[in-house]
Amino acid sequence: MIGSSSSLRDIKSISPWQRLLVLAMATFTIAPFAPLIIQSLAFRWAWPNILPTVWWHEQRERSPFPLAWDYVFSPSSRVAEATINTLGIGIAVTLLCLLICLPAARVLAQRNFRGKNQLEFLIALPLLIPEAAIGIALLMIFIALGFAGTYAGVIVVHLIPTIPYMVRMLTAVYQGHGTDAEDHARVLGANRRQIFFRVTLPMILPGVIAGCLFTFLVSTNLFLLTFFIGQGQIITLPTLLFAKISGGALDATGAGIALIASVPGIILLIFTDRFIRSYPLAE
Amino acid sequence: MAAFCHPLFMKRKLMPKALPVNSKTAASPALMQNLRDVAEVMPLLVILLGLFGGAIVLGILQSFGYAPWFGINEFPTTRYFERLWLSVDFWASLGLTLYYGFAATLIGLVISIPLSIALSKKFRASRVFGALIRLPLMVPYTVGIALALVMLGNGGLLSRISASLGLIDDPAQFVQILKTHGGCGIIAVYVWKQVPFMTLTLSAVLARKGEDTVEAAMVLGANSRQIFWRVTLPQIMPGIVSASLICFAFNIGAFEAPLILGGGYPDTLPVLAWRYFQDANYAFQLQGMAVVVSLALVSGIFLAVYLLGYRRYERARGRV
């Protein structure tokens, strides 16, 4: 976006109000994680102490049962199972979503036909109808089909909120490339398969990766649809955390699980900064 | 987007496609191409219409009394809607749902519009700040709820800090943020989670528009207030509309934050629907479905009104 880093201005180049806003929002965003981390390491943290009086590591030898992080990493917390489920479902949803959306995105990007606007609206609709409404109505269908509480059911239902984003991102990618290169390859005698794997795919790959990462992210963070359709039999990190905090209190293990549930997102944030940044939401 | 609607592009699309070298079978390449296009859109259509359309149709049927699998078939009856819409509780729930949804979306917009403009001026740390501010987008809502519990609860960090400042000397004296119908905790979680989404959407629009128009306005002597109201805001309007629609729909359909952080009875509509579904008496499920359909109806009405208003705005600006 900007040629060289030397042309970047200091933060003082924006007005004091803007500086205040940026700093305040960064604080509002990040600061709550500090007490969460402290809570996950605390054994006794009575009001009104700012820091715990007894820490977890001071008690862990004495306690007959696992505490805080020891409990989080013990099999009885089901964190490992939830992590595997979350990642597995995320990968399956991403691949399935890509398979469904890639061909459709090409058509949407390159063709004009009657009803195209209506089709685009239909694709955006899952984002505009409340998730709870879709989830509860689908639960009835899935119970009738024997799909409720199965991996297949959860994976299929995750397609609903992920498809709109995937289609948008892939359509934008296809639009950015046009069809010239494919036309050339066809004139030169390449068959359809060669054209796709040798010409199209290498060109659109960055956009495809961005779409996949975003889809994976949406899927791993999804709570409501997993909770409704999974029927408590499929636990993922968000639903495990929900079960832990639904009483309205947060103990050390709850804080630990909350931190674990943030890990996939934080990893994606660090490693995929440039992919996520450029995703074309703004249509 | 606009570039691809340009007549030049349209014309090129209508030009005959380059034919395969040995195409004996392709009697009509255009027809083959059309069939292939249809086949490629089909999986998406089937999934969307099957899942989404199926859910809507079945939901509506059930709310009108069609549930043969429970041995209930009174279709069509408006009994469930009547019972629901004539109760005061429903309107209280609807009011709460809309209040949380509107307040959070509005506060989110008020924060993210200036934030995206500030971050679009590239300064040395803007990337780091941009990434930090994006963090809530990457984590589940339930993490946001956990953060609200540990920060805003009566035994939370803010309460402890007030005590160490000598403002209060008992947790019960701390201002009740969670578990009230004021809903500050719920709104805080929504705002925390959605400001990154809105900011990212608006930043994408701003990046595409570039700074040329702003600079031109500056050269022509506009002050910063005029630039914001006359240049920047109209430019990012499409982003504002799409981001606020998505966030509003999410907010009124959210379940976990009102359930954990809300004040209990009367609940928001999604929680109310869930309670009906958890009831051992399955006849209540049809009542719950009436709640769900009402919720979808309300969001549909808001969507239509909002889009109509937006179209009028665009027309007034001569952009449609």
DSSP A262-278: HHHHHHHHHH-HHHHHT
SS3 A10: coil
Q: Do A1 and B10 touch (CB under 8 A)?
A: no
Structure-token pair, residue B221 = 């002597």
Please check whether residue A53 is in contact with residue A46, taking contact to mean a CB–CB distance below 8 angstroms.
Answer: yes
pLDDT at B61: 86
The answer to whether residue A77 sits within a structural domain is: no
Q: Is B139 exposed, middle or buried (0-12, 13-18, 19+ CB in 10 A)?
A: buried
Find the residue in B nearest to A26 (Cα): B133
Quote ipTM for the complex.
0.85
SS3 A60: coil
Partners of B132 on chain A (C-beta within 8 Å) are 26, 29-30
Q: Which of B40, B44, B110 has the most A C-beta neighbours within 10 Å, making it the best mutation to test the interface with A?
A: B44
Instruction: Nearest by CB to A29, from B62, B132, B156: name it.
Output: B132
Q: Name all domains of chain B by residue range, CATH numbers in brackets.
A: 87-263 (1.10.3720.10)
Q: Do B192 and A99 touch (CB under 8 A)?
A: no
The answer to whether residue A93 sits within a structural domain is: yes
Partners of A117 on chain B (C-beta within 8 Å) are none
Crossing angle for the helix pair B54-63 and B283-316, to the nearest 10 degrees: 120
- Helices in chain A by DSSP H: which ranges? 16-30, 33-41, 56-59, 68-72, 79-110, 116-128, 131-145, 151-177, 180-187, 192-194, 201-221, 224-230, 237-245, 252-271, 273-277
Q: How far is CA A243 from the centre of its chain?
A: 20
Residue B174: φ, ψ to 5°? -65, 140
Residue-wise pLDDT tens digits, A142-184: 888 888 889 999 999 999 999 998 998 888 888 888 788 888 8
pLDDT at A239: 92
Nearest to residue A257, comparing CAs of A44, A77, A30? Answer: A77
Partners of A48 on chain B (C-beta within 8 Å) are 159-160, 163-164, 171
pLDDT at A1: 39
Query: Where does residue A96 fall: left (phi above 0), alpha (psi -120 to 50 degrees), or beta otherwise?
Result: alpha
Rounded-to-integer distance, Cα A159 and Cα A157, Å:
5
Partners of A144 on chain B (C-beta within 8 Å) are 69
Structure-token pair, residue B211 = 């700074």
> CA of B37, closest CA in chain A: separation in Å?
6
How many angstroms separate the Cα of B271 from the Cα of each of A36, A160, B90, B252, B261? 27, 21, 12, 11, 12
Q: Do A282 and B145 touch (CB under 8 A)?
A: no
The answer to whether residue A42 sits within a structural domain is: no
Dihedral sign of CA atoms B268, B274, B279, B285 in order? positive
pLDDT at A264: 86
Structure-token pair, residue A164 = 């709109």
Rounded-to-integer distance, Cα B319 and Cα A98, Å:
34
Please check whether residue B43 is in contact with residue A104, taking contact to mean a CB–CB distance below 8 angstroms.
Answer: yes
CATH number, domain with residue A228: 1.10.3720.10
Query: pLDDT tens per residue, chain B (320 residues)?
Result: 333 333 333 334 444 445 444 444 445 778 888 888 888 888 888 888 888 888 888 888 888 888 777 777 777 878 888 888 888 888 988 999 999 999 999 999 999 999 998 888 777 777 778 888 888 988 998 999 999 988 888 778 888 888 888 888 877 777 777 777 777 889 999 999 999 989 988 988 888 887 888 888 888 988 888 888 888 898 899 889 989 998 998 888 888 888 888 777 788 888 888 888 887 777 788 888 888 889 888 888 988 898 898 888 888 887 65
> CA of A139, closest CA in chain B: separation in Å?
9
Q: Do A281 and B192 touch (CB under 8 A)?
A: no
Q: Which of B51, B113, B240 has the most A C-beta neighbours within 10 Å, making it the best mutation to test the interface with A?
A: B51
Rounded-to-integer distance, Cα B83 and Cα B73, Å:
17
Enter the DSSP assignment of A9: B
The answer to whether residue A70 sits within a structural domain is: no
Q: How far is CA B57 from the centre of its chain?
A: 22
Rounded-to-integer distance, Cα B139 and Cα B135, Å:
7
User: How confident is residue A41, by pLDDT bands cut at 50, 70 and 90?
Assistant: confident
Instruction: Name the average pLDDT for chain A.
Output: 83
Structure-token pair, residue A192 = 């359809």
Q: Do A245 and B145 touch (CB under 8 A)?
A: yes
Q: Which of B121, B143, B145 has the most A C-beta neighbours within 10 Å, making it the best mutation to test the interface with A?
A: B143
How many angstroms separate the Cα of A77 from the Cα of each of A106, A240, B50, B233? 45, 9, 37, 49
User: How confident is residue A275, by pLDDT bands cut at 50, 70 and 90?
Assistant: low
User: How confident is residue A7, by pLDDT bands cut at 50, 70 and 90?
Assistant: low
pLDDT at B143: 92
Work out the angle at residue A191's Cα, subtended by the Cα atoms of residues A188 and A197, and round it to the nearest 5 degrees.
105
Out of A7-16, A185-194, B12-21, B296-305, pick the least confident: B12-21
**b/e for B293-306, b at 16 or more Cβ within 10 A?**
bbbbebbbebbeee
The answer to whether residue A165 sits within a structural domain is: yes
- In sequence order, the 6+-apart residues with CB closer than 8 A to the CB of A1 are B122, B207
pLDDT at B319: 67
Instruction: Nearest by CB to B44, from A101, A245, A277: name it.
Output: A101
Rounded-to-integer distance, Cα B240 and Cα B17, Å:
39
The domain containing residue A161 runs over which residues? Answer: 84-243+263-277
> CA of A60, closest CA in chain B: separation in Å?
23
Q: How far is CA A178 from the centre of its chain?
A: 29
How many angstroms separate the Cα of B296 from the Cα of each of A183, A186, B273? 45, 47, 12
The answer to whether residue A131 sits within a structural domain is: yes
> CA of A76, closest CA in chain B: separation in Å?
21
> CA of B314, closest CA in chain A: separation in Å?
15
Check residues A133 and B192 and name the one with the higher pLDDT: B192
The answer to whether residue A79 sits within a structural domain is: no
Q: Do A1 and B207 touch (CB under 8 A)?
A: yes
Rounded-to-integer distance, Cα B40 and Cα A100, Å:
8
Average pLDDT over residues A261-275: 79
The tally of domains found in chain A comes to 1
Partners of B47 on chain A (C-beta within 8 Å) are 100, 159, 163
At which residue do the structure tokens 């977890």 appear? A56
Rounded-to-integer distance, Cα B259 and Cα B261, Å:
6
Q: Per DSSP, what are the bridge partners of residue B67?
A: B72
Please check whether residue B89 is in contact with residue B266, taking contact to mean a CB–CB distance below 8 angstroms.
Answer: yes
Q: Which of A13, A21, A25, A228 has the most B C-beta neighbours within 10 Å, making it the best mutation to test the interface with B?
A: A25
Please check whether residue B115 is in contact with residue B122, taking contact to mean a CB–CB distance below 8 angstroms.
Answer: no
Dihedral sign of CA atoms B160, B161, B164, B168 in order? negative
Instruction: Nearest by CB to B51, from A106, A160, A280: name it.
Output: A160
Q: Do B143 and A14 touch (CB under 8 A)?
A: no
User: How confident is residue A95, by pLDDT bands cut at 50, 70 and 90?
Assistant: very high
The answer to whether residue A22 sits within a structural domain is: no
pLDDT at B15: 44
Please check whether residue A30 is in contact with residue B135, taking contact to mean a CB–CB distance below 8 angstroms.
Answer: yes
